[in-house]
Structure 1
């Protein structure tokens, strides 16, 4: 089990040099998890590029979820609390090097709650108390 961050979906969408490695890593882990809030963030990022219509964004996300055999986890009250705590501790403007954004905090909360490693791209989660996948 592992939690997948928005940064991975975007790397795969953009077919970045490491996209195939991330795809393989997702496939190797049984039951990859993704927060419902992460799906919103993926949609916002993809829509902001104005290359895709809303229905194309939805279709890409659905294909991504299906190919990766993801379990989408609804945001719970306890996750919302963990996300708020993460933002206070690691969020943008906190002075902490992680500088987590809104979406990152939901990935953090899900991983923290489940005791799962996080698959991410970049350095933000490396500066937290989570384990990298």
Structure 2
């Protein structure tokens, strides 16, 4: 199975949160994992003194199963639509932020499930990767 992975899944694994096991299993079972360009930038933003998440993320995603998902015109259009419908300020319960809209768009454009942790994407029409695991 191919999937798109959001930064939140990697953060859960790194911090050994409750969702770490299911996220790691989903990634291990995937034949191809697409990382939106926005997630790579977000991972860099999460870097703090004494916290090597960014370096861990770079090493973790350096194996051949991982690929980048570039911001094509189609992705940008889909992200704009997502922002208008699901974005903060839209009144929708998903309240997606800028990066979330880009991640959502990559998954929609590729017609792939999304691996994520949290309660934002569950309010959208995206197919969650973890529900496919059970």
TM-score normalised by the chain length of structure 1: 0.87
Which consecutive unaligned segments of at least 5 residues does structure 2 have?
130-134
Q: Tell me which residue corresponds to 1:4.
A: 5
| Alignment RMSD (CA, Å) | 1.7
Q: Is the 8 A contact 2:19 2:117 kept in 1?
A: no
Aligned-partner SS, 1:11: helix
Q: Is the 8 A contact 1:9 1:42 kept in 2?
A: no
Q: Tell me which residue corresponds to 1:127.
A: 123
Higher helix share: 1
TM-score normalised by the chain length of structure 2: 0.87
State the distance in 2 between where 1:71 and 1:57 align. 19
Q: Tell me which residue corresponds to 1:51.
A: 50
Cα offsets for 1:59-113 (capped at 9, x unmatched): 2221120258311111112111111110110001110000001111111010100
1:109 is aligned, of 92, 105, 111, to 105
Cα offsets for 1:16-74 (capped at 9, x unmatched): 13212211111101101111111111221x22x4433xxx4542221120258311111
Alignment coverage as a number of residue pairs? 128
Q: Is the 8 A contact 1:90 1:99 kept in 2?
A: yes
